[in-house]
């Protein structure tokens, strides 16, 4: 065990900057995923509530398909096939980002749907009986209340995505887990870089979880 501790120190000393690099990529990838995933997810959610039936079907099929297959499989799929279908998308980082965004969107759309559904039905009825239209009810009455449910769940999705991005290391994308692969592959060290990467992941997600808990308390204070 003492060898491992010694080696960890040496790895940090000589190659610590690699992990900082990894953190940058992991966070960048996560931010991109959650940001665009939220936009796409909102659109999906709208599509699922649309009056046009085919739109509804497509959106529902999409969500089911994405949620019913593993992320790693989707990454492979996008990495290999996206540049075939759309040749201008021949960039590794882009392909993987798109895959993660498409994956996250399905989950975000469910989060938003659940958030809206959690708002009491009486609120809609009250708004409609006051003479508000469907759109106005949604925008002025339902959404402001739904946001309270959605926001913490969205932040949790961010924490999930941080961990999920580690799968992108299959394609040496540059995230934290990739850095582990780089170091272990070049230096024949296994446990040490894993320890460092693990500690960093934990620090990232733990801090974020605490922030989310604080945010939730603030939102609850308004009730």
Partner 1 sequence: MMNNRRVCAILLTLALACSLPFAALAETRLDKVLSSGKLTVATSPDFAPSEFIDPTKTGQEAIVGREMLLARYIAAELGVELVIESMDFSAVQGAVAQAKVDLGISGFSPTPERAESMELSDSYTFEEVEHEQGFLVLKADIDKYAALEDFAGKKIAAQNGSLQQTLVTTQTPDAKIELITSLNDAVMMLITGKVDALATAVTVGEEFAANYPDIQIANTYFDYRSPGNVVMATKGEVELIAKVNEIIAKAVEEGKMEQWVEEIAELTESLAINSEE
Q: In whole angstroms, how close is the CB of 24 to partner 1 at the nearest point?
A: 12
| Residue pair 52/60 in contact by the 8 Å Cβ criterion | no
Contact between 182 and partner 1 by CB under 8 A: the answer reads: yes
Nearer to partner 1, 54 or 122 (CB): 54
Q: Which of 27, 58, 94, 143 binds partner 1 (CB under 8 A)?
A: 58
Contact between 10 and partner 1 by CB under 8 A: the answer reads: yes
Strand ranges (DSSP E) for 77-196? none
The half-sphere exposure of 47 on its side-chain side, counting CA atoms within 13 A, is 20
Contact between 190 and partner 1 by CB under 8 A: the answer reads: yes
Q: How far apart are CA 222 and CA 218, in angstroms?
A: 7
String marking each residue 150-179 x if it binds partner 1 according to CB under 8 A = --------------------xxx-------
Nearer to partner 1, 150 or 189 (CB): 189
Q: At what angle do helices 53-67 and 2-49 cross, to 10 degrees?
A: 170
Q: How far apart are CA 166 and CA 182, in angstroms?
A: 14
Contact between 94 and partner 1 by CB under 8 A: the answer reads: no
Q: In whole angstroms, how close is the CB of 154 to partner 1 at the nearest point?
A: 26
Residue matched to tokens 């540049």: 83
Contact between 85 and partner 1 by CB under 8 A: the answer reads: yes
């Amino acid at each position: 065990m003492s060898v491992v501790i010694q080696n960890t120190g040496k790895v940090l000393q000589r190659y610590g900057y690699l992990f900082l690099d990894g953190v940058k990529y992991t966070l960048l990838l996560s931010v991109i995923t959650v940001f665009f995933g939220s936009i796409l997810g909102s659109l999906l959610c709208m599509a699922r509530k649309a009056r046009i039936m085919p739109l509804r079907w497509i959106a529902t099929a999409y969500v089911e398909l994405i949620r019913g297959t593993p992320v790693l499989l989707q990454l492979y799929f996008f990495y290999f096939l996206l540049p075939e279908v759309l040749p201008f998308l021949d960039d590794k980082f882009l392909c993987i980002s798109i895959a993660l965004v498409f994956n996250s969107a399905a989950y975000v759309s469910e989060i938003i749907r659940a958030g809206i559904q959690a708002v009491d039905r009486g609120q809609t009825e009250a708004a409609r009986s006051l003479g508000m239209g469907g759109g106005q009810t949604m925008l002025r009455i339902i959404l402001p209340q739904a946001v309270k449910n959605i926001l913490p769940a969205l932040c949790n999705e961010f924490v999930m995505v941080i961990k999920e991005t580690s799968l992108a290391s299959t394609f040496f994308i540059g995230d934290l887990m990739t850095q582990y692969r780089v170091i272990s592959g070049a230096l024949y060290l296994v446990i040490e870089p894993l320890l460092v990467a693990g500690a960093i992941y934990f620090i990232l997600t733990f801090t974020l979880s605490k922030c989310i808990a604080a945010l939730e308390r603030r939102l609850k204070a308004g009730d």
